[in-house]
A and B are shown apart, each in its own frame.
Chain A
Amino acid sequence: MIWDWSFTLEILPVLAQAAVVSVEATLISFVLAATLGLVLAVVRIAVPRTGWTISVLVELIRSTPLLIQIFFIYFVFPKFGLVLDAFTAGVLAIGIHYAAYCSEVYRAGFDNIHRGQWEASIALNLSAWTTFRDIIIPQAIPPIVPALGNYLVALFKETPLLSAIAVMELMQTAKIIGSDTFRYTEPITLVGLFFLAMSLVSAALIRALERLLNRRTVR
């Protein structure tokens, strides 16, 4: 039999539990990515002479595979006395990797702010901090929410990499089920379907959000 339904029902709760780990890893690393990315983009504008360094850093992070970065943080950090458990190391690596991508998204958002907004802020003597908080960020963020949303989905789809350092997320769980039972069809297909469903739903949500934002800006 190619597909065994009773086996499917048996492993479903186990996979559901693992899915929670995947989603947790996604959310934590995305918060890290979104925050760190914003910090990078803001620092780049606030302290222009850091621009080159940040560009190079972003390029370095984006030019090397996430999997190697995960290994690097998991295996190399302990050599410097910083021992992280697999989940933390993995989440940190994914967060930093996607921070590099997010910072470019924020940067595009900031670049789209008309120069007059900065000039008006200077003319009103606003501090740099107030200018970012009250004037620039509220205008720059809404248009880039869909782009950030796409990175959230992309990030989610990279969480199976955590299986390489044995984090018990979906992929790792499916592999273990497979090697224990010699049935790979159901667990791996179910994992695929789960990602597919989440991706399709997220894509629809992002499209709806985009429409909402377009309506708002037309106001």
Chain B
Amino acid sequence: MTEQPMVRFENVSKRYGTLTVLDELNLEIARGEKVSVIGPSGSGKTTVLRMLMTLETINDGVIWVEGEPLTHMKKNGKLVPADLAHIRRIRAKIGMVFQSFNLFPHMTAMANCIEAPMTVLGMKRAEAEARAAELLDLVGLSQKKDHYPSQLSGGQQQRVAIARALAMRPKIMLFDEVTSALDPELVGEVLQVIRQIGREHDLTMLMVTHQMGFAKEFSDRVCFFYQGKICEQGPPGELFGAPKNERTRQFLHAVLEAG
């Protein structure tokens, strides 16, 4: 038997009223795989991440994480919508970094990183702080641990947000356009950190990005979304080098033109 995929979307649909954002999505992500999601705005790519993080409910289908349903639970042999306890148990495997950082503004970098480990995982403060110090060091911010978010640059804030997510020891990391809100000169430092944790940690990563260069160099697979469906996917060399689909070609052409 082959190994369970880390994440599996099975016929997942998402609608807002009459607008279908995602149309019967089927997607499997293997353990340790780095997958980039690209596509025009409104193509549903961010929705994929938000559903996996349970920030959005789904209308149809099932999302599986390590062979267990995230959105549903088994009851008397049938799948029923999951209750909160079930969702929280599965959700613990997933971490997310947001486009707008979403750091807690009233807490220092360190406090941001120990809040969830202490209250959710029940870690002792000393242990949580030691772990957070390591992670802040990893993202190059050990000097800034007592700074508040408003005292940090955008790039620094985003690196704290990455450390905060890692502090929960997730198996899956979601990156939602994490460099889109940054000034151009700050993008590099954040991508560098993502590269590094990709190398050093055994993480499954799913990222929505507009950085085509980074997607090409970093990911194992790239998915191109168009109008709520995966229009084309494949290794970055193929998808960027020789896109098969006309839509993909148009999109890449337009993006490269702008870049």
A interface residues, Cβ below 8 angstroms from B: 114, 116-117, 119-120, 122-127, 130, 134-135, 138-139, 219
Contact = CB atoms under 8 A, between A and B. Distances in A.
Interface string B92-104: 1011101011111
B242 interface: no
A126 B168 contact: no
A135 B104 contact: yes
User: Which one of B53, B106, B148 has the highest number of Cβ atoms from chain A below 10 Å of its Cβ?
Assistant: B106
B106 A139 contact: yes
Given A117-B104, A139-B105, A134 B119 contact: yes
B116 A219 contact: no
A124 B105 contact: no
A96 to B, nearest CB: 31
Contacts of A114: 100, 102
A138 B148 CA distance: 14
5 contacts: A119-B53, A122-B91, A125-B120, A126-B116, A127-B120
Nearest to B101: A116
A117 B161 CA distance: 12
Contacts of B100: 114, 116
Interface in B76-127: 88, 91-92, 94-96, 98, 100-106, 115-116, 119-120
Contact of A123 (B96, B119, B150, B151): B96
B72 to A, nearest CB: 18
Given A125-B92, A126-B119, A139-B105, A219 B148 contact: yes
Given A125-B88, A125-B91, A120 B103 contact: yes
B115 A126 contact: yes
B106 to A, nearest CB: 5
Given A119-B98, A123-B94, A138-B106, 7 more contacts: A116-B98, A120-B104, A124-B95, A124-B116, A127-B88, A135-B104, A139-B105
B54 interface: yes
Contacts of B168: 124-125
Interface in B116-161: 116, 119-120, 148, 150-151
Contacts of A117: 102, 104
A124 B115 contact: yes
B55 interface: yes
A219 B168 CA distance: 29
B221 interface: no
B53 to A, nearest CB: 5
Nearest to A133: B119
Contacts of A139: 104-106
Contact of A120 (B54, B98, B106): B98
B163 to A, nearest CB: 12
A46 to B, nearest CB: 12
A120 B102 CA distance: 6
Interface string B221-239: 0000000000000000000
